[in-house]
Structure 1
């Protein structure tokens, strides 16, 4: 393995700020959605991903990748959401081993009610704190991180 490239003071400060801020941001957004609409942030994210598809459905494996989740964790999450009537799972007609998740009318109604709360939170706690230039830089940086991690073997 070679010599360890220890973080510089600047790099360590950036890393700590990122870790603490993202945990606190996700916690805050989750709390706002839970209190106002009785939906978790992770469930909300599933609904957003499904609703963004033209046919309002998506293969579970693709959904797990898009959400940065494992297939097992997503399967449990979608199972809970299915019990609540917000999504349903159906066999993939093109791949008999595959499963498709699709948003239900109840899930769509919940998403429509919760979306303004979420967007207001994202604006208040992140977007409006950044300049337009910082928004571009953050978007580029984390797209690069996502693509790097997405290409690593699991």
Structure 2
């Protein structure tokens, strides 16, 4: 079976490892910044952002899991924590009782608005200030190629 494997070339291996290292370092840095300055993990910030971009700041839990790039069970746990903070509320859909809706509260929107400047500053310093405009365009193109048209991701 191993003879059918298309092993990575030296160049591909270096690119893969550089990607993994940069991804991990970026995620840790963003998580630490948000925890330090806003008391929330990066994953929770992404959920609040996703809800803030929905009509009426409301989404079904199923759709929200896709938008936030997390599993339904991890999302349910996170929403429970965000509910306890008063940043999100949950209720059953009036049109379909099987559907649970999550809504970003005014307090949650305020927490997001307070966290956003520090987060954007960290993103800018860790990524965009280090790249030329041409590299920013290349980064977008590369990431879009990697993401493709996978229907599991919005």
TM value normalised by structure 2: 0.90
Q: Where does residue 77 of structure 1 map in the other structure?
A: 78
Q: How many residues align?
A: 152
Cα deviation digits, residues 53-79 of structure 1 (max 9, x gap): 231111111111122211111111111
Q: Where does residue 3 of structure 1 map in the other structure?
A: 4
Q: Distance in 2 between matches of 1:132 and 1:93?
A: 47
Q: Distance in 1 between matches of 2:13 and 2:57?
A: 41
Q: Distance in 1 between matches of 2:137 and 2:143?
A: 10
User: Where in structure 1 do 4 or more consecutive aligned residues deviate above 3 Å?
Assistant: 147-152
Q: Where does residue 127 of structure 1 map in the other structure?
A: 128
SS of aligned partner of 2:103: strand
List runs of 5+ in structure 2 lacking aligned partners: none
Q: Distance in 2 between matches of 1:93 and 1:42?
A: 28
Moved more, 96-105 or 116-125: 96-105
Matches for 1:85-96 after TM superposition, within 5 Å = 85-96=86-97
Q: Distance in 1 between matches of 2:152 and 2:141?
A: 17
RMSD between aligned alpha carbons?
A: 1.8
Q: Call closer, same or farther: CA 1:151–1:110 in 2, change over 3 Å.
A: closer
Q: Where does residue 140 of structure 2 map in the other structure?
A: 139
State the shift of 1:29 in Å.
0.8
State the shift of 1:96 in Å.
2.0
Q: Distance in 2 between matches of 1:12 and 1:149?
A: 24
TM value normalised by structure 1: 0.90
